[in-house]
Amino acid sequence: MIVTRLPIDPADLFAALYDDLARDSAQFHREAESWLYRQGFQETAVRVEQIAHSEGEVDLARLQSKMPRHSAPYNLAVLTGIDRALAHVNPRQDSRDPGALAHVLARYARTGRFSTDNACGAVLPRLTWPARPTHQPTMAEAFTAVIRVSDASWQAISHKRIKGSQDLPNSRAKIKIAVAPLLHSLQDIDITRIPGCSHDPRTDKPVDGYVLGPVDREEIRDRIRGILSTLTKKKVVIGVLPEASLCNSLLAYWQDLLRQLDQDLKVGPRRYWILVGTGPIGEPDPAGRHSNRAVVLDQSGEQVFSQDKVRDFSLTPQTIKTWGLSNKLDDSALAVEWINRGSKIEVRESFAGRFAILICEDITGSDWKSVLEDCGVSHLLVPIFAGPLKNKWAFPRSEAEQYVRQIGSWVLAVNSHVTADNENSCIGMLAGPGVTSRDEWHDEEGDCDPKFIKGSGPDRVGIVPLPPDPGFPMHLLSREADG
């Protein structure tokens, strides 16, 4: 390593040393465990933690250590000390005195990052832990308080801090989440085939497209009023509606209702989010394609954030028949979703977690899973338009479980009743870490099995508790002195 002007900001220094160590990840995987027992390792790590906590910066030029400077074991010792120091300002760790790191905590509250703009990529607080048995951690898993987001992953997302007036509470207690189908039957959707608007790159022949959204009618608006009333009475913190349940006029209606409710003195002040669905929102692009956009609103009807679907879905003739869409959409030929595709995943930093939205097909993309794993996303909201959630292997169970196992995320998927066999069909699925999910593999039903959610009442709202992660935070690296 050629050392030139290493930063003294703890988070920026972590980024620089981590990247240097990552240049030979094979060496790390072979030898890192033995480095913990090198002479001076624990002493160096403890000293770095103390300096960072008491001074708010780490100047390696002044650090006394018995280890060879800037060797891989030395870098890991320094990284370990910084990781332990930044645990004092990690919102998911036990409340501690931030000491001289108060400026890092203030930066996080302002920007959602521990690192400054001077660091490529980002250093973020760790909010999740993979929900699978692991005994020899990867390089990313060697640190329990922070994660290093590569520059490539950072460029693939749009990361922002939720403003204070919209932020959800940082609570270790259970919160209530709710799902509602809104769309109960084929009469509630508008699906249109557009002949020859796209082409198959394999054959270079034209293929049809389709546009999917809700029908805005009084019965739908009556359901929206009922859903909002239930969410208010039950003090739900996060509500999610499915794909294809939103259009421009219904979005405006949701906003009007929420603004009126926010002014109701009988309701009282409360912060909550509602993902009010997805659909053709905004103006079309020059080719006539709308975005399939999910929108999250706060308690006052203001937008918290939105997400454009990034992967279009193809309806095959058999799928059209199986889902009962033949009367709405001719089943004689393939139809490709005709949308203006999004280019980035929106990630929002909240004191309640790190949130992202994957719309239906987007959860199947391995490229996005790699990015969101790198970013340590803790909560994924997944509105879908798909076949009924009628058995334990229905889509998107396997996709959701990959996020749970690899990242430790909570995944909430929500479907409508358009393709359902009856009104008692499940409308939601919640997957997340369980008490034993880091100790055992659960191939059969077990502690970390997804919970399938059914609705009740005239508006078919389903409410379930979202518990805190039972196995986080965790501490892997020993703090014992050198032996």
pTM for the full predicted model:
0.94
pLDDT for position 270: 87
In tens, the pLDDT along 334-372 reads: 999 999 999 999 999 998 999 999 999 999 988 999 999
pLDDT for position 203: 86
Q: Give dist(CA 62, CA 56) in Å, integer.
A: 14
Q: Give dist(CA 60, CA 65) in Å, integer.
A: 10
Instruction: Burial-class residue 307 by CB neighbours within 10 Å (0-12, 13-18, 19+).
Output: buried
DSSP letter at 423 equals: T
Residue owning tokens 């103390």: 50
Q: What is the architecture of the domain spanning 175-466? A: 4-Layer Sandwich (3.60)
Q: Would you say 82 and 62 are in contact if contact means Cβ atoms under 8 Å apart?
A: no
Q: Give dist(CA 345, CA 309) in Å, integer.
A: 9
pLDDT for position 422: 82
In tens, the pLDDT along 158-211 reads: 999 999 999 998 767 788 999 999 999 999 999 999 999 988 888 889 999 999
Mean pLDDT (10-residue bins), the chain, 483 residues: 77 97 90 91 96 96 89 95 95 83 96 97 94 80 94 97 91 86 96 91 91 98 98 96 98 97 84 97 93 97 98 96 93 94 96 95 93 96 92 82 93 96 88 78 60 93 87 52 40
pLDDT for position 481: 40
pLDDT for position 95: 63
CA separation, residue 74 to residues 30, 341, 352 (Å): 16, 46, 35
Q: What are phi and psi of 255, to 5 degrees?
A: -65, -40
CA angle 389, 422, 218 (to 5 degrees): 105
pLDDT for position 442: 60
pLDDT for position 476: 43
CA separation, residue 90 to residues 112, 122, 130, 460 (Å): 11, 15, 18, 38
Reading phi first (left if > 0) and then psi (alpha if -120 to 50, else beta), residue 60 is in alpha
Domain edges within the chain:
10-149, 175-466
Q: Give dist(CA 82, CA 145) in Å, integer.
A: 9
User: Omega of the bond prior to 396 within 30 degrees of 0, cis?
Assistant: yes
What is the Cα gyration radius of the chain?
Answer: 24
pLDDT for position 391: 64
Q: Encoding tokens for residue 67? A: 């280890």
